[in-house]
């Protein structure tokens, strides 16, 4: 014999559906404004594209140098701790 879903289960499903629908509406609004913002920030000339590419390369370079420095300092400190002993 099959049991009928309880009233609370039905209410919970309805609430979840209502919540999903309201979030979907907000998400589509956010998406459209985000698309507009992105399109307004796109480079308009070749020189802007080259400049943005160079900026990206410099940022990546800075991150690489910072990572190498961090690892070198970390290795140095770890080595000193090991030499000191217990």
More confident residue, 75 or 30: 75
Structural domain spans, the chain = 1-42, 44-86
Q: Render pLDDT for 31-75 as a digit per residue (tens, 0 to 9).
A: 555 555 555 666 678 888 899 999 999 999 999 999 999 999 999
Cβ proximity of 70 and 76 under 8 Å: no
Summarize the confidence of residues 14-27 as an average pLDDT.
Answer: 64
Cβ neighbours of residue 49 closer than 8 Å, sequence gap 6 or more:
43
Half-sphere exposure of 79 (CA within 13 A, CB side): 6
């Amino acid at each position: 014999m099959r049991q009928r879903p309880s009233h609370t289960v039905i209410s919970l499903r309805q609430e979840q559906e209502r919540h999903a629908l309201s979030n979907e509406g907000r998400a589509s609004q956010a998406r459209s404004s985000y698309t507009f913002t992105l399109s307004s920030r796109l480079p308009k000339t070749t020189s802007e594209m080259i400049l943005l590419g160079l900026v990206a390369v410099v940022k990546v370079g800075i991150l690489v140098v910072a990572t190498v420095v961090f690892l070198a300092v970390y290795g140095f400190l770890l080595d000193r701790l090991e030499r000191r002993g217990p």
